[in-house]
Amino acid sequence: MTQRVGIFGYPLGHSMSPALQQAALDEYALDALYEAWPTPPDRLAEAVAGLREPGCYGANVTVPHKEAVMGMLDRLDQQAEAIGAVNTIVTESDGKLAGYNTDIYGFLASLSSEAGFDPAGKRVVMLGAGGAAKAAAFALVEGNVASLDIANRTVARAEALIAELRSNGAETSAFAIDSTGLADRCANADLIVNCTSIGMRGSPSPDASPLLDGAIQPGCLVYDIVYNPEVTPLLAQAEEAGARTLGGLPMLVYQGAAAFEKWTGMSAPVEVMMAAARRAMEEQTR
Ligand code: ATR
C-alpha cells in the first residue's frame, strides 16, 4: 500500500515541503507520496482524524494550524509542549497521533552543520518575537547562550516571549527594534538572528533590512531565517560589513529531515533534500 504523508496549512501556495520530502522518499525508493493538503481551519479536525487510517506516516503542519492542531493529538513531545506549537505529526503503529516540533532541531542543526556555530556561551541578538522567533529563542536557550536580547517592533511581545523562556541562566532583555540600546548590543553580538518577515519576498517590506547600516560588525554571524530570497537585504548588508552569513533554507531542510526520520525511521538524505529545496525555490522565483 502506498504510504500517505503531507502538509496541512492554509493557504499553502508556496510550501517547499512537498518537493524536499518527495525527493527524500524517492531517494530510498519508498512507496510513499507526500502531498500538499490545503485545509481551512473548520476542516482541520476531520483532516487530522484521517491520519489514523492505515497507510499513513503522518503530516507536517504549518501556518495557521501549528497551535490549533495540538488539541487534536493523543500525545505531545516535550519540546512541542514547551513551545506550544506542533509542526510534525507521527501516526504510530496503533493509530495514535504524536505531535512534535522539529523547528528547534532545524534551527540548531543548521547553525552547527552549515555555519559551525555552537551557541554555548555566546551573545545573541534576536530580531522578532512571533511564532518563528519563539522556536529560535527556545533553541538558543537550550543551547546555553550567555545572553539573549530580543528586539521587536512591538516591545511587549518581546517581553512576553522572554517571560515564557526558562532562561537557563542566560541574561535576557527586550528592546524596541529601532532603539539605540539595540545598536550597542548588536555591536557586541556573536550572532544576530532575524526572525521577522522583513526582507521576505511577498511581504510588505521585501526590500528592507531590519537593521540600520553600520549595526553589523565583521566578527558576527548573521542568520536570516527568511529563505526566500536566498540572499535577503539583511544578508547583503552583513556581507558588505564583512560578517559571516547563514540563510534560512538549511533550517527548512533540517526541520524536514527530522520529520522524515520520525516517519520512516531512516536517516534523512540531507544533501538530496537541500538540492530539491534549491530547485523548488528557483522554479518558484522564475
Ligand atoms: P511568524 O510566525 O512567521 O514569526 P508572526 O508571528 O506574524 O509570524 O511574526 C512576525 C514578526 O515580524 C513579528 O516579530 C513582527 O513584529 P510585531 O510583533 O511588532 O508585529 C515582525 N514584523 C513584521 N513586519 C514588520 C515590519 N514591517 N517592521 C518590523 N517588524 C515587523
Cis preceding linkage at 38, omega within 30: no
The pLDDT tens digits for 90-120 are: 999 999 999 999 999 999 999 999 999 999 9
pLDDT digits (tens, 9 = 90+) for 225-235: 999 999 999 99
Handedness of CA 262, 263, 268, 271 (dihedral sign): negative
> Is residue 112 lining ligand 1, measured as CB closer than 6 Å?
no
Ligand 1 atom with the smallest distance to the CA of 153 is 19
- The C-alpha atoms of residue 91 and residue 97 are separated, in whole angstroms, by 5
| Residue positions annotated with a catalytic role | 66
- Phi-psi sector, 123: left (phi>0), alpha (psi -120 to 50), beta: beta
By the 8 A CB rule, do 120 and 145 touch?
yes
Q: Whose CA is nearest to atom 11 of ligand 1?
A: 196
Burial of 236 (0-12, 13-18, 19+ CB in 10 A): middle
Segments of the chain with pLDDT less than 50: none
Q: d(Cα 109, Cα 258) in Å, to the nearest integer?
A: 10
Angle (CA) 137-260-269 rounded to 5° is 100
Instruction: Cell 517590506: give the residue.
Output: 205
Q: What pLDDT sits at residue 191?
A: 98
**Cβ neighbours around 252 below 10 Å, total:** 24
Residue 46 is predicted with a pLDDT of: 98
Helix (DSSP H) and strand (DSSP E) numbers for the chain: 10, 12
Provide the grid cell at 250: 538549511
Instruction: Tell me how crowded residue 64 is: count the other CB atoms within 10 A of its CB.
Output: 15
Assigned C-alpha cell, 255: 526541520
Q: Note the pLDDT of residue 47.
A: 98
Q: What is the pLDDT of residue 119?
A: 98
Q: Which domains does the chain have, with CATH numbers?
A: 3-101+250-285 (3.40.50.10860), 104-247 (3.40.50.720)
Dist CA 74 CA 130 (whole Å): 26
Which of 87, 152, 154 best tests ligand 1's pocket when mutated (most atoms within 8 Å of CB)? 152
Pocket test for ligand 1, best of 65, 159, 193, 196 (most atoms within 8 A of CB): 196
Query: How many angstroms separate the CA atoms of 199 and 135, rounded?
Result: 20
* pLDDT of res. 186: 97
Hey, which bits of the chain come out as E strands? Answer: 3-9, 32-38, 56-61, 75-76, 88-91, 97-100, 123-127, 147-152, 171-176, 191-194, 221-224, 244-246
Rounded-to-integer distance, Cα 274 and Cα 69, Å: 28
Q: Specify the pLDDT at position 168.
A: 79
Is residue 37 within 8 A of residue 282, CB to CB? The reply is: no
Nearest ligand 1 atom to the CA of 129 is 14
At residue 285, the pLDDT reads 79
129 lines ligand 1 (CB under 6 A): yes
Model pLDDT, residue 221:
98
Residue 205 alpha carbon, nearest atom of ligand 1: 27
